[in-house]
Structure 1
Amino acid sequence: MLEQLEAIRERFHEVSQQIVQPEVASDVKRYKTLSKEYKDLEKIVKKYEEYQLLLGQIASAKEVLTTEKDEEFREMAKMELDELEPNQDVLEQELKELLIPKDPNDSRNIILEVRGGTGGDEAAIFAGDIFRMYQRFAQNQGWQFQIMDQTEGSSGGFKEIIVSVQGEDVYGKLKFESGVHRVQRVPATETQGRIHTSAASVAVLPEAEEVDVQINMNDIRKDTFCSSGAGGQSVNTTYSAVRVTHLPTGLVVQCQDERSQIKNFEKAMTVLRSRLYEMELAKQQAEISGARKSMVGSGDRSDKIRTYNYPQSRVTDHRIGYTVYNLPAVMDGEIGDFIEQLRIAENAERLKEGAV
């Protein structure tokens, strides 16, 4: 591990020197690539330097115990060692986690899709609640949220809503959210006070660029229609809404959020590219994992991943058995604990597999 860390520190110093060169600053693409590498390496180098400082302090304390005759100095050195040595294990574990190869998609923006599942009107209302949960989390992270397309439910919420989320490490933080989210509560539409169970599905797709997915425009069928709101209410009377069909896969994407047909087409193509990219990623992951299915990393949107129980104010993530009793805060966007616990679980799996 130490040899790996030394190599990383050496590379960090190389990147530090390159990034200030005038020819690099004038090359936007190269500067962006080096800036990202600098930021990623800096986290590891800072932790490594903290670790080296700690090892130096431990060595100094041990030397005092070996050479010092004064009992008071020896006692102080013992106390210092008792305090320092537990930190060595903590820092070593943190370094091992930092050395786990990052998912190259973690830094990407995402396309987030939320759909009402089983449960009729209540499912659409819950899909709206889940959407707002992610929207508030994104606001707290300083991310940008842009609606690509939406179909409202007849009693509120959304039958489907698709958004682009842009910011730092968006996919890395939200990639474990794909799956079925189940709710247990008394719906607003229930007259006899009975608890109902309904669901919403979430898909988190890393946003693909044109260089990632090459689409032959001969494989695309484009249909236009008038945009409409909930209940068929006309939004505008021009044919600005766009439906795109990818003929080889049968994937269909529509977008009607913009008044411009061109903008709607661009948005639809962005979503289509991301869905095609996700399909390719799923194939690669299946080949890599073989028969083993990761506890937290499958991203299978048919898996029931979390239950939101309103009567008990309980939220449980079934993949890692993690439960909290602060449902109102979770629905207000405080999902950081779940994201952190899922990240820890994934890192533990990868460490067991000998990634580091």
Structure 2
Amino acid sequence: MSQNQKLAELSAAGVSVWLDDLSRDLITNGGLQEEIDTHSIVGVTTNPAIFQSAISKSDLYVEQINTLAKSDADADAALTAITTDDVRSACDVLAPVFEATDGHDGRVSIEVDPRLANDTDGTVAQAVELWNLVDRPNLFIKIPATKAGIPAIARVIAEGISVNITLIFSVERYREVMDAYLDGLDTALRNGHDAGKIESVASFFVSRVDSEIDDRLNAIGTPEALELRGKAGLANARLAYAAYREVFETETRFPDLQAHGALPQRPLWASTGTKNAEYPDTLYVSELVAPNTVNTIPVKTLNAFADHGWVNTESIIGKEAESRQIFDALTAVGVDLADVFQKLEDEGVAKFEVAWADLLGATQTQLDAAQS
């Protein structure tokens, strides 16, 4: 099988293409391997909503749930076993990619329980637990970039654990995330860990920013406001990339760590499926192309890009001033950006909590049925 030309071009431009999806069906029927072989996939991300969809739609989990029921496992223990098994299997599928890229890619992410988003100690404890349970070097532990998550990130990195920081919406919070990564590396080195084996990505959400800001622009309704629709998400991501380059290429702190083998924390573009049908369906892939980035892409958007996507290699670098002008214009027409970003963070955590609660309830029902 040969690689899709459009996705191969995206990969050649410096974008690691990761699949924003996972299920036991995808692993066992060879679908994940096919994505690797034909769509340049070099990583996988998961979240509570993805697991909810996977488990609710498949019969492949029934046997394991029945076995867990016989051992009197509750829903939390059952879901931990199920999800870590799937992620471990996916890590094994991607192991050749991990080896071929010297650990740069070939990684699979699993998220801490979303109910711990505001619990620093609980997040750290579960991150260590998940790392040990999956027991694969190509694992990423996903930690949300909440206020409680920031110190947890530093502490988990300090343990030598690779981390994917998720639910980042603002450049200000992204800078806190990068600082937490560097703090964690400092401590990891003092603890005797090999910094070259610690990878991290920072998942910067894109389409949700446009959805929220577009709603506010429509409510304002002036010509100036309406003209700004569909511009905030890309501008925000471009400013994030500028911040990344500043921290890892210009400022003085990282080179000292790099001398000890530390690696830059790559920006990852998340929420890249277009939510507004009026926008091109590959917008947040085609227009977010820059070296040393990751784009985690839902299946629908991945297939669309393979069919008719384009690669704009001038889409990010050199766009900082233009992007700042867009943000200045948003403020000028009355968009409260701080409120936008806080609302998106709160909603992101809440959505994952709801998905996890639904999945816990459904799993407990299946466990009860198996025990009766």
Tell me, yes or no, whether TM beats 0.5: no
Richer in strand (by share): 1
TM-score (ref. length: structure 2): 0.24
TM-score, length of structure 1 as denominator length: 0.25
